[in-house]
Structure 1
Amino acid sequence: MSGLDWLILGGTLLFIVGFGTWRTRRAGDSLDGYLLGGRQASWWAVGLSIMATQASAITFLSTPGQAYDDGMRFIQFYLGLPVAMVLIAVFAVPIYHRLQVFTAYEYLEGRFDRRTRTFAALLFLVQRGLSNGLSLYAPALVLSAILGWDIQLTVWLIGGLMIAYTVSGGTRAVAVTQQGQVAVIFTGMVVAGYLLVHYLPAEVGFTDAMRVAGHEGKLNLIDFHFDPSDRYNFWSGLTGGLFLALSYFGTDQSQVQRYLAGRDITESRLGLLMNGLLKIPMQFGILLLGVLLFVFYQFNPAPLTFNRPVYMQVAHSEQYGPQLRALERTHATLFKARARATGELVAALKTDDEQAIATAKTHLQATQAANLGLRQQAQTLLKQAVPAAEAKDTDYIFLTFVLHYLPHGLVGLLIAVVLSAAMGSAAAGLNALSSTTVVDLYKPRRPGRSETHYVAASRWAAVGWGVLGIGFATFAARLENLIQAVNILGSLFYGTILGIFVVAFFLKSVGGRTVFWAAVAAQIVVLTLFFATDIGYLWFNIIGCAVVVAGSVSEKAVRS
């Protein structure tokens, strides 16, 4: 990166973090002030905080690569989200506000018992603690690739910065910094989209790019085919995605804490509905960047593998280097053929000549198949040479474009986008982990202490969870795709947690003992199915919830 890039990157991050820390320097010594910002947030602040918490750096690194590789069908993952926002606004928000709880799990003790509350809190802590590690790994990936730093050292540097301002200012520090982070994120993504279209050949416009992408199967937005093993289709998105969103936004403390900070029920509801209205268009835009990247690399040379650090390591080895360089030469020749075939398809589409379109598609499909086979050979070779390397390189695709094609200054801005998203999401998760640890686990066992004591315990809990997240982040490089890894991890626990809350809200006659054992059984069932079957992970959200509800109802019926 140039000096201008470093200036923009450093200035952007220092301003956001510094301004947020200064604005929240008087977070107070009360739990209400530290954990919920005094419950004074407006609806738009709640909405922005919800969006920033969900949109981690993984969203902006991994999602474009997902679309590049698999098209836009990942958008179906979010089909159930708007419905979930309405349901949570109607049923959950009034209960949480009326009881003035600090965490979602605090409600469960009054409804059931402390054992059920503790079990739900522990499931959240395990899931969110691991997810925060993934949120830290993504930006570390960026800086390690740019600077050549050891990735573990980079994880510690980023994690340390995030821990510092989260511990100092609590929820208000997280919320205020997220507002600046969201502004940087949207600015950067709009700039990247414009430049991707601008860098296409003069004869290829946005419409031409979309037509090429459509013929290459990248605009596969909706698939009505039902297949339980298929991760993304209309049915899994509308049902499994709905249950995942209900659990994430309705029972995950990292999100519940965002709208518990609203000044009243109306502000919290409007913040949730704002997220429901904007999330799908936002995700559509990020996936569209991946599709534009795919078209861009039809006309511009793409690397044999986007994982450049691993490529350079293998290219200089005596055993594997010659094989890799031979594949690179074949890849360069194949690119020229693919670019010609893509140009022929664009020309044929402009004339609407069906015969020419069919011929061009056949030619392009042949070059694409050859290119895919060559990339698979390269990945196999890289895996043989560096067994610890990532299985896929899709998380590096957007980063590669940013580093090699953006002008000076904009590189720094786009890197700031990734780091802003990382800190916004991870800080909210860390804030929620400390809240749940103190309010749901520590305080019930150490009652009667002062507010200052509990605030101090929350700060120490944030430090502890931050260090654990950093530790898990060092293992994240072994995962196939970060955006999928985060959602898979959530789906393993969210269904059970959601089932507990569904019983709490709607089955008033079910007691704590019944729902506790039903939840334990549900978690065992979900984990067994995950390791023993190939069921698409979104269905685990439905299965987990259904087992808890069915187990609670059936045991109640037997007992009566």
Structure 2
Amino acid sequence: MQLPIIDLVIFFVYMLGILFFGVSFYFKKGRTTADYMVGGRKLPAWAIGMSIFATFVSSISFLALPGNAYLSNWNSFVFSLSIPIAAWAAVKFFVPLYRSVKSESAYYYLETRFGPWARTYASICYLLTQLARMGTILYLLALPMNALLGWDIATIIIVTGISVIIYASMGGIEAVIWTDAIQGIVLILGAVICLGIILFSMPEGPAQVIEIGQQHDKFSLGSYGLSLTEATFWVILIYGLFINLQNFGVDQNYVQRYMSAKTEKEAIKSTWFGSSLYVPVSLLFFFIGTALFAYYQVFPELLPADLQTKEAADKIFPYFIVNGLPKGLTGLLIASIFAAGMSTISTSLNSSATVILTDHYKKYINLNPSSKDNFKVLTLAAIVMGLMSIGVSLAMTEVKSALDAWWALSSVFSGGVLGLFLLGYFSKNVQQLEAAIGVVVGILVIAWMSLTPIFIPEGPWFSFRNPMHANLTIVVGTLTIFLTGFLLSHLLNKKKI
């Protein structure tokens, strides 16, 4: 279709504005590597909070959550319900810890507990997780543009990826946080407007969405059974709790924001603000998915046949944005989707570059680099990670559900790092050997859980195949590392006595 000129203008003006705003931080006088990595530790709490929120959201939320709700129900919203619990743990334990350590790296603490290997292991797991995350987001960003202009998805992924690489690699954490703050506001505004239009487009008004949703059990949070093989309420809640504890506890994206605040009190405020804001906004996205389902139940003729399959669920919202919104609003909504994705990608690029500099370059290559060397490494690392994420995104075009693929990959690449961190924080008697054995056992368990469903068919009565739901990989991996290290510590200490 031919997009109205006003939509093109809104979209491209927004994109260019964000790009130039982000790049402008590169020309800031007297800029140091501390400015690049933690904003000179002087950024306001509200902006950091909006950045935490924007990091949570991304286009995974903006597109995949409505797609998930459209296809099934609100089962995935249970993930959001775990966030306040994880946020409480963050302000109680994690924020004070990292503020006291005063390192730009989230993994320096692990080195103080278990030695250099722990820091290297955790940082590598983090980098792999970010590649999976950025690849998924780039793919989801390409969907609306493909529907919008008919451009090739691969071309969109490459162009978008390079655009974000430019401002993230040049602007540093200040550019990331301030653009996140702007993009968070645009994102919420766009989603609210879109939901309002869907609700008031229904022939019988907004109540018709609720009625149709109830008829098709769209508001269900999933089964409350105790099965470990299905995505029940409890499986998603436990998965969400472990993933979000990992986010707040050992994810460089979040730890860097704790360090960017002026004081510990400000860091705590920003954590509560960003995490609390995500819960109602994610609910908004699920409601959009349900509203879209109701809308196309009433107007089935408006949905093309190729979008009436399960595999096309992630494309429903982009299609509506292009074809169902009044002139002028399509550009705003497309800008909102790009706002969500760009903010998360830029965050991941900056944090990944910081990890590569602090945990690898300074540790193994150049122990005492100059400020000029630091900037070169930070910029080059962001560019390389960005290019690699483009490759991951191109591979992501082959999957059926981007949300399910991301959740599975994040469970695998997490490597049970949370278990190692909890082991070091809560079990003071555990030494390097016990922790290392715990990690090895944890990796073997994660490999078994991740790979056997792919390579081993289901047996009639017994099988070496993992019977549990894929989302439980991070849960079991975390607990395996923690419990193995803890029990070995007690066993070895008894023998010494």
* Fold equivalence (TM over 0.5): yes
Query: How does 1:78-477 map onto structure 2 within 5 Å?
Result: 78-201=80-203, 204-221=204-221, 223-233=223-233, 235-300=234-299, 301-307=301-307, 392-445=311-364, 446-477=366-397
Contact 2:226 / 2:232 at 8 angstroms: preserved in 1? no
Contact 2:311 / 2:401 at 8 angstroms: preserved in 1? yes
Once the two structures are superposed, residues 237-288 of structure 1 have per-residue CA deviations (whole angstroms, 9 ceiling, x without a partner) of: 3322111110022111122222221111111111111133222211111000
Contact 1:77 / 1:236 at 8 angstroms: preserved in 2? no
Share of identical aligned residues, percent? 28
- Indicate whether 1:557 and 2:490 are aligned: yes
Query: What is the deviation of 1:164?
Result: 0.4
Query: What is the deviation of 1:542?
Result: 1.8
- Determine the structure 2 residue equivalent to 1:17: 19
Give the TM-score taking structure 1 as reference length. 0.82
Query: Structure 2: how far apart are the matches of 1:469 and 1:17?
Result: 19
- Determine the structure 2 residue equivalent to 1:344: none
Structure-2 change in CA distance of 1:69 and 1:534 (3 Å): farther
Q: Using the TM superposition, name which of 25-34 and 217-226 deviates more.
A: 25-34
Query: Structure 2: how far apart are the matches of 1:85 and 1:126?
Result: 24
- Indicate whether 1:525 and 2:458 are aligned: no
- Determine the structure 2 residue equivalent to 1:507: 427
Query: Structure 2: how far apart are the matches of 1:68 and 1:488?
Result: 20
Give SS of 2:73's match.
helix
Contact 1:17 / 1:177 at 8 angstroms: preserved in 2? no
Letter in 2 for 1:455: F
Structure-2 change in CA distance of 1:433 and 1:23 (3 Å): closer
Give SS of 2:367's match.
coil
Query: What is the deviation of 1:130?
Result: 2.0
- Indicate whether 1:3 and 2:8 are aligned: no
Contact 2:90 / 2:249 at 8 angstroms: preserved in 1? yes
Runs (5+) with no aligned partner, structure 1: 308-374, 380-390
Query: Structure 1: how far apart are the matches of 2:178 and 2:274?
Result: 17
Structure-2 change in CA distance of 1:514 and 1:182 (3 Å): same
CA RMSD of aligned residues (A): 1.7
Query: What is the deviation of 1:24?
Result: 5.7
Once the two structures are superposed, residues 409-454 of structure 1 have per-residue CA deviations (whole angstroms, 9 ceiling, x without a partner) of: 1111111011111110111011111111111011111101112211
Query: Structure 1: how far apart are the matches of 2:40 and 2:32?
Result: 9
Give SS of 2:344's match.
helix
Query: Structure 1: how far apart are the matches of 2:411 and 2:119?
Result: 20
Once the two structures are superposed, residues 171-196 of structure 1 have per-residue CA deviations (whole angstroms, 9 ceiling, x without a partner) of: 00111111111111011101101100
Structure-2 change in CA distance of 1:483 and 1:208 (3 Å): same
Contact 2:63 / 2:314 at 8 angstroms: preserved in 1? yes
Query: Structure 1: how far apart are the matches of 2:160 and 2:266?
Result: 33
Once the two structures are superposed, residues 11-68 of structure 1 have per-residue CA deviations (whole angstroms, 9 ceiling, x without a partner) of: 1222233233335631755321111111112221111101111211121111111101
Give SS of 1:101's match.
coil
Q: Point out the structure with max Rg over C-alpha.
A: 1
Give SS of 1:479's match.
coil
Contact 2:190 / 2:332 at 8 angstroms: preserved in 1? yes
Q: Using the TM superposition, name which of 47-56 and 149-158 deviates more.
A: 149-158
- Indicate whether 1:73 and 2:75 are aligned: yes
Structure-2 change in CA distance of 1:251 and 1:28 (3 Å): farther
Give the TM-score taking structure 2 as reference length. 0.92
Query: What is the deviation of 1:534?
Result: 4.5
Contact 2:147 / 2:322 at 8 angstroms: preserved in 1? no
Query: What is the deviation of 1:302?
Result: 4.4
Letter in 2 for 1:159: G
Contact 2:222 / 2:231 at 8 angstroms: preserved in 1? no
Letter in 2 for 1:504: G
Query: Structure 2: how far apart are the matches of 1:148 and 1:255?
Result: 36
Q: Using the TM superposition, name which of 38-47 and 218-227 deviates more.
A: 218-227
Query: Structure 1: how far apart are the matches of 2:242 and 2:29?
Result: 35
Contact 1:392 / 1:480 at 8 angstroms: preserved in 2? yes
Letter in 2 for 1:128: Q
Query: Structure 2: how far apart are the matches of 1:438 and 1:399?
Result: 38
Letter in 1 for 2:437: W
Query: Structure 1: how far apart are the matches of 2:108 and 2:173?
Result: 18
Letter in 2 for 1:440: D
Query: What is the deviation of 1:483?
Result: 1.9
Letter in 1 for 2:269: L
- Indicate whether 1:539 and 2:459 are aligned: no
Structure-2 change in CA distance of 1:124 and 1:190 (3 Å): same
Query: What is the deviation of 1:550?
Result: 1.2
Query: Structure 2: how far apart are the matches of 1:146 and 1:512?
Result: 54
Contact 2:23 / 2:166 at 8 angstroms: preserved in 1? no
Give SS of 2:224's match.
coil
Letter in 1 for 2:487: S
Query: Structure 2: how far apart are the matches of 1:169 and 1:457?
Result: 14
- Determine the structure 2 residue equivalent to 1:382: none
Query: Structure 1: how far apart are the matches of 2:24 and 2:338?
Result: 20
Query: Structure 1: how far apart are the matches of 2:238 and 2:191?
Result: 29
Once the two structures are superposed, residues 101-129 of structure 1 have per-residue CA deviations (whole angstroms, 9 ceiling, x without a partner) of: 11111121112100111011111111111
- Determine the structure 1 residue equivalent to 2:35: 33
Query: Structure 2: how far apart are the matches of 1:223 and 1:26?
Result: 54
Query: What is the deviation of 1:150?
Result: 2.2
Query: What is the deviation of 1:456?
Result: 1.3
Runs (5+) with no aligned partner, structure 2: 453-465
